[in-house]
Amino acid sequence: MQLPTHVLVAVFTQYLITKFLTFPTCVEICLIILLCGFSHFFIDALGKITYHPPIRELGNFWLYWHIFLYAFGFFLIFLYFQVYWLGILSGLLVDIWDWIILRNYAKYTSQPDWGKKYYLHPIADKIRGIFFSRFPNLNHSKVGILPEIILYIGWLILYLSTS
């Protein structure tokens, strides 16, 4: 799944922890880091049911969908970061590590495959194999945007009803 989904799940997870659990602050912080970080793997394991081609596809659909995803994702980060920064960073840490740190390091080293053994995303693949292997693969199907669109519309309704 994509950036906005990770942000929304992290915000929701941190909200639930701080609103409904009465642990000492240090325990809440540890729970936020662990649960938001672990949620990343389950969200990515569900990525099989979304439009998520592994490489850029030709045509405007891929381009416009990704412009929307990044714009909406950065809007959500801007909207929630001041309060839910720990959850957001914890929820995005796997992508920051794999797609920003390791891949960029590989570009500037003489060993481009060095970082692959440190990638964290294979954990999501294992979770997918255990829990979600029977789900349809919509990675290349445009109808695969519907699960995330439904989530975003649900968030919008909830956001507008509580504002």
Q: What does the pLDDT look like over 110-153, one tens digit per residue? A: 676 766 788 899 999 999 999 999 999 999 999 999 999 999 99
113 domain residue, yes or no: no
The burial class, CB within 10 Å (0-12 / 13-18 / 19+), for 20 is exposed
Identify the DSSP state of 120: S
Cα separation of 104 and 111, whole Å?
12
Domain that holds residue 13: 3-92+121-162
Domain count for the chain, please give it. 1
Residue 40 pLDDT greater than 70, yes or no: yes
User: Which residue has 């080293």 as its token pair?
Assistant: 109
13 domain residue, yes or no: yes
102 domain residue, yes or no: no
Residue 109: per-residue pLDDT: 72
Q: What does the pLDDT look like over 51-89, one tens digit per residue? A: 998 888 888 999 999 999 999 999 999 999 999 999 999
156 domain residue, yes or no: yes
Cα separation of 100 and 50, whole Å?
22
Q: Average of pLDDT values for 37-48?
A: 94
106 domain residue, yes or no: no
Contacts 24+ apart (CB under 8 A), 110-117: none
49 domain residue, yes or no: yes
105 domain residue, yes or no: no
Closest CA to 37 of 122, 96, 94: 94
Q: Are 19 and 70 in contact (CB under 8 A)?
A: no
35 domain residue, yes or no: yes
- 131's tokens: 């829990």
The burial class, CB within 10 Å (0-12 / 13-18 / 19+), for 95 is middle
